[in-house]
Structure 1
Amino acid sequence: MFQKILRLFYKVAMWFFLISVFSVLFFRWVPVPFTPLMITRAFEQKFNGESLHCKHDWVPIEEISPRLQRAVIASEDATFQDHHGFDFSAMFKAYKNNSKGKRIKGGSTISQQTAKNVFLWQGRSYVRKAFEAYFTVLIELLWSKERIMEVYLNSIEMGDGVYGAQAASKYWYDKPAADLSKYDAAGIAAILPNPLKYKAKNSSAYIERRKSRILKHMRYVKLKY
């Protein structure tokens, strides 16, 4: 009996490994059409009696302003271009803050967020975190940093029913992502911790302070890819 369970586990693990590697390789070149979060939000909208609304326009990274790329690095992951998927220093700081009962901080890198957004469900369970780490290693091995940034900026939530840089740029500033100013870019980056709560335009005092900090740090971000 134990051997049968062991063989079944082995087969499931092998199939999962093959499918996951194929999926990561597939999306190395192919645009991601939708994410698990988009599906979840659609169900939430339906359950709440809202009309379904989802804005998502994939564009290549060449059509996304470098200012936005620098802004999200300055805001979300200062060491993105140098680490191999994980920023252990940030994770340790997040652990210390959370253990003291302060505002919860995840310490997740852009690579980790991309892995979660594209391949996994939302949540804070240890199981989901383990899968997130696995997919983070895969995309760091099989994608370039430029591709990770491209997928990240095309898949993350940037407003209510708004996903990706192009849709967010049109929604918040009525312009394509290629034409974002540094102030526009900082505005979008500033709301990423909670894009359903915060606004990139006509922002609260808290978001305006975040914009100022992001603009300050953007000056030191040089794109290397």
Structure 2
Amino acid sequence: MSLRINDEAPNFTAVTTQGTINFHDWIGDGWAILFSHPKDFTPVCTTELGYMARLEPEFAKRNCKLIGLSVDPVEDHKKWAKDIEETQGCAVSYPLIGDSDLKVAKLYNMLPADEPGTSEGRTAATNATVRSVFIIGPDKKIKLMLTYPMTTGRNFDEILRVLDSMQLTAKHKVATPVNWKSGEDVIIVPAVSDEEAKKMFPGGWKTLKPYLRITKQPQ
């Protein structure tokens, strides 16, 4: 079954570099980002894991946990983590899921449900679709899904930007425009009438069209 935005994130129990976890219990009452990799000791993923390690404090400020996944055993992850720290200058302190039985990759539609075998003998090319990012909310529902090709490093600054937008818009009746960054003007959602908006946005707004009203970012 395919996954869509606002579907419940499939729960699972898995071994990680920080012990066995139940995914939903591990998320707790905050946000989480699950990002996957087709193989350990691959160049692009090495840079990604290192960059996320540097960004982790920013995600923590937003009550958001990070967890990686790679289609290899945990023992390999621990060896890979040493390479990541050496080459990227930052140690990985978030957990990495060992998905050697392909269970989580299949559960999240990154590999076909009937894919046979285990990680043994598989290459990055055969796992090419295990290059996804999922943002999961406190309600355990999927808020974002992105899948990248193996040769293109993911933009995790963008993931942080999206998280800022989603946390803001979950709290206030606004949406964020193209290329928005935290602190910039936002859009009052069309479902809010002008009368309601007067109470909600006392600082006023600029009407470009009846459906496009621009206002300062609420705090």
The two structures have a TM-score, normalised by structure 2, of 0.24
Q: Which of structures 1 and 2 has the bigger CA Rg?
A: 2
TM-score (norm 1): 0.23
Higher relative contact order (CA 8 A, sep 6+): 1
- The structure in which a higher percent of residues are helix is 1
